[in-house]
Homo-oligomer: A and B are copies of this chain.
Amino acid sequence: MNLVLSPEQQELRDTVRSFLGTVSPLPKVREGYDPDVYARLNGELGLSGLIVPEEYGGSGAGFAELAVVLTETGAALLPGPFLATTFAAIALTRVPDKELLTGIAEGRVVATLAQPAGDDGLVAESADGGVAVRGTLARVLGGMEAGVLLVPARTGDGMVLVAVDLTGEGVTRTPLETLDITRGQARIELDGARGRVLGASPQDDGIGDRLAVALAAEQLGVLRASLDSIVAYAKIRVAFGRYIGSYQGVKHKLADMHCKLEQAESIVRFAAWAADESPEELPAAAALAQAYVGRACFEVARDHLLLHGGIGFTWEHDAHLFYKRAKTDEVLLGPPRIHRARLADLLEL
């Protein structure tokens, strides 16, 4: 098991952090998705192709590297479809599709992945060389930005993963008002939208676990940046003639938050390592990552906001951006209890 970053991974982290600090500082984050920033992220840093195998034009890196990058995009609250496209790439590496993977690696294709729950499933019927897809998706991450939607759909031959062209006919997209103003979701209605079958969509394909790990890496970044922000403020804000960080009421809370950071970081490293190296440990590691890091991230973001005092409650201050991203991420893959239930099953309790 490897829980420590290699020198190369540290360099990757520093590069991404410094890049985002320059091209996507927080004042810019408030303006939302900037396709130029996204293009530079993929062009100059090649991030969209990070986990795409080399044979498809990517870097063929592992989850250890992906986690490093997502932690930085999380810390920067990067707007736009980077996480959505990463989710799609994760699904595509499980049902390798040259065209889309190459497009993602080259930064040409912005994609997203939806996992409809229960009866909200889609139906795909054969239609001139592909399929026509019908159904409604209530909430799709990056749904307005993506050109391609990956989604399971029912056919006569069972469940398949289809790639739907969101730019074509039969697609109605409605942007949703979201708690997180830095990253959008959309309602998508498909009424005979053009799609292409990528392969069968097995129940336990490891995609869900990998999404959980990727999201936890982003959450680790949100947690870390929240803590950094309030620690910095505690060193300059004065109350009753003393820096607030000198009061144990603040100091001890920050120490507890640091303990959460240390544990969250350890878990994300472990889960990323498991995704790369230890498939049998991955399911429990992924569920652990969401169960622990998702909660820790919101708690730290919440306390970082509260410890800012009144200014943290204002729209102008950035604290609420982290708080809202943390809450949105916590429920992104479903109510958090599903991860705990999964853990209970995996532990054979």
Residues of chain A at the chain B interface (Cβ within 8 Å): 247-249, 251-252
Contacts and interface: CB of A to CB of B under 8 A. Distances in A.
Contacts of A247: 248
Most B-side CB within 10 Å, residue of A247, A249, A251 = A249
A248 B254 CA distance: 13
A259 to B, nearest CB: 15
7 contacts: A247-B248, A248-B248, A248-B249, A248-B252, A249-B249, A249-B251, A249-B252
A249 B252 CA distance: 7
A237 to B, nearest CB: 16
A178 B247 CA distance: 42
Nearest to A252: B249
A248 B247 CA distance: 7
Contacts of A251: 249
Contacts of A248: 247-249, 252
A248 B244 CA distance: 12
A252 to B, nearest CB: 5
A247 B249 CA distance: 8
Nearest to A247: B248
A229 B203 CA distance: 58
**7 closest pairs, A vs B, by CB?**
A248-B249, A248-B248, A249-B252, A247-B248, A249-B249, A248-B252, A249-B251
A174 to B, nearest CB: 35
Contacts of A249: 248-249, 251-252
Nearest to A249: B248
A202 to B, nearest CB: 36
Contacts of A252: 248-249
Nearest to A255: B249
A248 B249 CA distance: 5
A247 B247 CA distance: 8
A264 to B, nearest CB: 24
A260 to B, nearest CB: 18
A41 B251 CA distance: 49
A249 B255 CA distance: 12
A185 B247 CA distance: 47
A257 to B, nearest CB: 15
A247 B251 CA distance: 11
A58 to B, nearest CB: 50
A99 to B, nearest CB: 51
A334 to B, nearest CB: 21
A337 to B, nearest CB: 15
A77 to B, nearest CB: 31
A248 B253 CA distance: 11
